[in-house]
Structure formats: C-alpha cells, structure tokens
Amino acid sequence: DVQLQASGGGPVQPGGSLRLSCAASGLAFDDYAIGWYRQTPGKEREGVSCISSGGGRTYYTDSVKGRFTISRDNAKNTVYLQMNSLKPEDTAVYYCGLLEFFDGSMWYPPSGNDYWGQGTLVTVSS
C-alpha cells in the first residue's frame, strides 16, 4: 500500500521556523512529484508548494515565496518543507500527496489514485 506520513508540525512563535517532513513508502518515490497542501477549518484547501520527481522544478504559492523551501531526498523517500519567518496566517494542517504532474498552481494527481498523507498541525502564535 502507498503510505504518506507528514510530520514535524507543532506550536511556534511568529518569526520562527519549522521543518516538515513527508515520508513515503509503497511506491517508486522518484517517479512522482510531491505537493504540500494546507487547510484551516472553514477555509478552502490551499496548495502551498510542490516539487518535481527529481527535485529540479518547484512551485510556491505567492504567500510563502521567500519564506518556505521545498526539497526532497529520494534516497530517504522523503520530501521536506522548510518554513521560515512563520506568520500567524500560516497556521493550518499541512499534508502531502502524490502528483503525476504540475504546472504552476495546477496540480494533477495520478489517474485513478489520489494518495494524500495525514496532516500535521502547524500553529503560529505568540
């Protein structure tokens, strides 16, 4: 079975940093792009960042550009999201999922299989 596990969230003060991890198993990890979503109760899910299968192409939503960095270590089957200069509006549940392809903000999961990991909560407050 394909499994995606997001971790690394927690409470942090404004201006602080967190590093989220997305660990994958049960798949050829280096065949897939990976996307990070976030969601706050009562609000629409937002695509935050994604990275191509080889790590050479990335996307960031405007609100996190310059603050967040996505990377991947295919040898460890893990994608990371380094979040710096955190703001209260970054508070959300963050989760990761497989992507077959992405074109900027347009993300495409594998046909017939939409795999998303369980989220990890990030709370930014003083």
DSSP 30-98: GGSEEEEEEE-TTS--EEEEEE-TTSS-EEE-GGGTTTEEEEEEGGGTEEEEEE-S--GGG-EEEEEEE
pLDDT (tens digit per residue) in 76-116: 999 999 999 999 999 999 999 999 999 999 999 988 767 78
User: How far apart, in whole angstroms, are the C-alpha atoms of residue 126 and residue 12?
Assistant: 8
pLDDT (tens digit per residue) in 14-73: 999 999 999 999 989 999 999 999 999 888 999 999 999 999 999 999 999 999 999 999
